[in-house]
Structures are given as C-alpha cells and as structure tokens.
Amino acid sequence: MPIILCLGNEIISDDRFGYEVAEALKDDAVFCGTVEVHFAARAGFELIPLLAERPAALVVDTIRTGHDQPGTVRMHDMGAFAPSNHLVNSHQISLPTALALARLYGIPMPASIEVLTVEAADLETLSEALTVRVAAAVAPAQQLIRKWLNSKVENHVSFKD
C-alpha cells in the first residue's frame, strides 16, 4: 500500500507540521483504506523500512529554503533533492542519501516518491503550536495530497500490498 509519510518533531514549532497534517489526514475518509498515513519523528536510515516495498510514497516535511514566504507549500519530485556526499549520520543523512543506500543493497524502494514541503518560520522554539502562517498551510497541503492521491489512482498505481 502507498504511504504518506509525515515527518517532524511535535515539540518544535513548525517542525510539527508533518504531525498536524497526519492528524488531519487520519480524519479524512478519502484516505481510509487506500493509503497508509504515518507520522514519524525519524530520519535517515530509519526511513528505509517505512518506504521499503511501497508502490508509491509521498513525504510531508518542513523545509527552510529562505526563498519562500513561511507557509508556502510546494510539491517536489524526489529527484529535486540531491544526495549529500557527507551522509552526516543516521539522523541527519538526507532522505535521498538514505534511498541511495537502500538501492545499493537492493532494497525495493517506491518507483515514485514525491515530497510536499512547507516553508518554516520557526524551527527553534520548543512549542506544541505552529506559527500562524504555517498553521494556515495545513488545509492547502491536505488539498494537494488529495490531488496526489487522485493522480495515483488515475495512473493505476497499485493500492494493495
């Protein structure tokens, strides 16, 4: 079954975005039984088992590019993210690097991985609340995820394990 993998840390302000999106999706009947929604406060190596053997995956995460206004939601293909040479550690290795490692070992990864990001305003404050602009981005993100799900249906992506 495809997975919507929401990443983040529930106690660091806008890094909580993935958690909020996951909670919103769990209450949305459209997603029931067709896709697994999973929140994970994990990164790097730890994501490989969650993505392995999935026909498709959408990763939801917070990002800080400095190029967009906080709360800006964008969809990216995983190819937009270049692997890091540094493989900094189990925690901070980039997702593309983790995928490269998985491919090296022949672990079946989704043929299609897309990434939904929200531009963060605050990734430092210990808080169980999003900043206003990022909080307002949860609903638009939900709409984009519906479109993603529809596109997978149209493209006949298998929705069964």
Q: Which residues bind another protein (CB under 8 A)?
A: 7-12, 15, 40-46, 49, 59, 61-63, 81-82, 84-97, 100-101, 104-105, 115, 117, 123-126
State in angstroms the smallest separation of the CB of 55 from another protein: 22
Nearest approach, Cβ of 88 to another protein (angstroms)? 5
- Considering the complex, state which of residue 2 and residue 44 has its C-beta at the smaller distance from another protein: 44
Question: Rounded to the nearest whole angstrom, what is the least distance from the CB of residue 125 to another protein in the complex?
Answer: 8
Nearer to another protein, 91 or 158 (CB): 91
d(CA 18, CA 7) in angstroms, rounded, equals 5
What is the token pair recorded at 146?
Answer: 């519906």
CB 66, min distance to another protein, A: 14
Phi and psi at 20, nearest 5°, equal -65, -40
| First-to-last C-alpha distance (Å) of the chain | 5
Instruction: Output 146-153 pairs: Cβ under 8 A, ≥24 positions apart.
Output: 146/30, 148/58, 148/75, 148/114, 148/116, 149/30, 149/31, 149/34, 149/35, 152/2, 152/56, 152/112
Which residue, 97 or 112, has its beta carbon nearer to another protein?
Answer: 97
Of residues 85 and 155, the one with the C-beta less far from another protein? 85
